[in-house]
Amino acid sequence: MGIRTSKKTMVAFLATMAVTAGTLAGCGGSGSASKASGGGDNVITVFDSEPQNPLIPGNTNETGGSRPGSQIFAELVSFDSNGKAQNEVAQSITPNSDSTQYSIKLKPGWKFSDGTPVTAQSFTRAWSYVANVKNVQKCASFFSTIKGYDDLQQKGLNGTEQLSGLKVLDDTTFTVDMSKPDSIFPVKVGYMAFAPLPDSFYKDPKAFGDKPVGNGPYKLAEWSHGQEIRLVRNGYYHGNVKPRNQGITFRIYTKVDAAYADVQGGNLDVMDTVPPADTKSFMSDPTVVAYNKPGSIIQMFSIPSNLEHFKSGTEEGTLRRQAVSMSIDRKSIVTKVLNGTGTQPVDFTSPKTPGFSENLKGKENLVYNPSKAKELWEKADAISKDVDPFAISYNADGGNKPIYDAIVNSIKNTLGIKVSADPVPTFQEFRNLVDKRQIKGGFRSGWTPDYPSAEDYLFQCYDSEAGHGNGANDGDYSNSRFDELMTQAYAAPSTDAANVIYGQAQEILLNDLPAIPLYYDNAHGVAMKGVKGFQMDWQNQSVYSELHK
């Protein structure tokens, strides 16, 4: 009898369970059905992370904010997918003979998405706002070559002071006086921090950051923090971009892995990145459309210029730097560790940089050549011996371990010396050590350009003016001939002329190797099956306007 009743009990339990599960499932049915379709006919859903700053152009310096921001704002020039600058709001940008003054004429008829006109003042006031230290804008430094910048870095400003180098002539014309020659200025003005701002911005910058009004191909419809940023077409826009969809919805993700699963499962249209775990398989994944081409980011490791036995400018140092560079088997790293999501480098910029050349003198120093490497190292040993074991530091939170293990092994096996990889737990901690110059050895470095110009790579990372904490020259490299070429390039009559000089400057770097280029990060991403027009621009971002279904 005992057995019979307890069997009944068990059946009852199971029945309760089934009923509860059923009811629970029933009551929540409405939640997701509407979402799976994404957002209607020709609206594209794309991956993003939560912007780390309010959506103000001058305060946006990371991809979470620049993905939607770049669609909301249009600048004087826009860049095509190869990084070539084309006039957008500007009719013409005319330099004087030594690039110290620019006269800028705007095309008539441009309007912000709220219907107010884009005038010369929309630019000058916005630029002064960003440059003015009182307004705490993270991109302030981009305006440092404009006259009057230093005056806006003082204490006791009220935030409304204007850059003295900007002069408005009429509604569609203004001039820019530079404090020193800057031939790259016509390219720089395509960077988002140079976007015009409507008058409504100055009334309440805080509210604007939550609901920005711009002059770009799209306008903000709704920003639900931590969830999505919904953009729709801006009817007032008539620039270079011809959107092929009705809108873009940026979905905020906690992690790229979740987004990848959503593309596979048909819930997300496009993402312009691939989780490390999937780099091996995404090219052959039948559930997605893959994109993988050389991009604009270069990965390197720097060797401090004052590192014992590696001092730059000395014969021994140069020999050792070249030996280390030639002992790295970049080809196997790119194919085996990166699974083809990187490309072997031939310079210090990127294949997406205007003026890029595959034939610079000294590019053979970036090619794996074990016998030559050994020979150079021995030559250096003949000058001075007792080299300390060489260590390379990197931040361990970015998936860099396999790459650096491979580099270290490659150097070790080729040169037969003691080399170690020295991981630092987080990027923050790593940057702190780099800033304090506390790393005694090589350290990971990389560069993501802000605008497509060799200047952005070369001046920021290797000019002596950018060293010692004043820029990104973290190895404190200093070469007077290189600095001279940088100055010459700034004074060049055109960006094309400047690019020729940047080529010469790079040949110096290829010999001195202040940093050892490792690979160009490929622009890689995936789209859902059935999404058309998926390609990526010079910034390794998806060309959102081309996407359609």
Partner 1 sequence: MGKYLLRRILQMIPVVLGTTLLVYALVFALPGDPVKAMFGDKPINQAVAAQIRAEYNLDKPFIIQYLLFLKNALTLNFGNTFAGQPVIDEIARAFPVTIKLGLMAFVFEALFGVVFGIISGLKKGKWYDAVILIVSLLLISVPTFVTGFLMQYFIGVKWHLLPVTAGNDPGFLDLLMPAMVLGSVSMAYIIRLSRSEISSNISEDYVRTARAKGMTNRSVIVRHVLRNSMIPVITYLGQDLGALMGGAMISETIFNIHGIGFLTYQSILKGESNMVVSIVTLLTLIFVVCNLVVDMLYAVLDPRIRYA
Helices (H) and strands (E) in the chain, counts: 16, 17
* Residue 447 interacting with partner 1 (CB under 8 A): yes
Residue with tokens 């009990």: 9
Interface region with partner 1, contact rule CB under 8 A, candidates 53-61, 112-120, 167-175, 366-374: 53-61
Q: Which of residues 497-516 bind partner 1 (CB under 8 A)?
A: none
E-assigned strand segments in 196-311: 218-224, 228-233, 247-252, 270-271, 288-302
Interface region with partner 1, contact rule CB under 8 A, candidates 88-96, 189-197, 337-345, 419-427: 419-427
Q: How far is the CB of 394 from partner 1 (least distance, A)?
A: 13
* Residue 429 interacting with partner 1 (CB under 8 A): yes
- For partner 1, the closer of residues 133 and 491 by Cβ is 133
Q: Which of residues 261-300 bind partner 1 (CB under 8 A)?
A: 261-262, 264-265, 267, 287
The Cα 320–Cα 309 span in angstroms is 8
For partner 1, the binding residue among 160, 335, 420, 432 (CB under 8 A) is 432
- For partner 1, the closer of residues 24 and 385 by Cβ is 24
Q: Is 173 helix (H, G, I), strand (E, B) or coil?
A: strand
Please give the torsion angle defined by the CA atoms of residues 111, 113, 114 and 120, in that order, rounded to the nearest 10 degrees.
-30
Interface region with partner 1, contact rule CB under 8 A, candidates 466-474, 498-506, 511-519, 520-528: 466-474
For partner 1, the binding residue among 225, 242, 361, 418 (CB under 8 A) is 225
Q: How far is the CB of 61 from partner 1 (least distance, A)?
A: 6
Number of neighbouring beta carbons within 10 Å of residue 366: 24
The Cα 222–Cα 141 span in angstroms is 31
Kindly determine how many residues on this chain lie close enough to bind partner 1 according to the rule CB under 8 A.
75
Task: Tell me how long the chain is.
Answer: 549
The Cα 549–Cα 546 span in angstroms is 10
* Residue 57 interacting with partner 1 (CB under 8 A): no
Question: Helical H runs in 28-108?
Answer: 30-36, 63-72
E-assigned strand segments in 412-485: 419-424, 442-447
The Cα 460–Cα 75 span in angstroms is 22
For partner 1, the binding residue among 39, 46, 53, 270 (CB under 8 A) is 53
For partner 1, the binding residue among 221, 258, 382, 500 (CB under 8 A) is 258
Encoded tokens for 192:
């988002």
* Residue 476 interacting with partner 1 (CB under 8 A): no
Q: How far is the CB of 259 from partner 1 (least distance, A)?
A: 7
- For partner 1, the closer of residues 53 and 322 by Cβ is 53
Q: How far is the CB of 280 from partner 1 (least distance, A)?
A: 15
Interface region with partner 1, contact rule CB under 8 A, candidates 77-85, 349-357, 420-428, 532-540: 420-428
* Residue 468 interacting with partner 1 (CB under 8 A): no
Contact 102/95 with Cβ under 8 angstroms? yes
For partner 1, the binding residue among 105, 138, 363, 401 (CB under 8 A) is 138
Q: Which residues contact 305 (CB under 8 A, 6 or more apart)?
A: 311, 312, 313, 475, 476, 477, 478, 514
* Residue 399 interacting with partner 1 (CB under 8 A): no
Amino acid present at 381: D
Contact 95/184 with Cβ under 8 angstroms? no
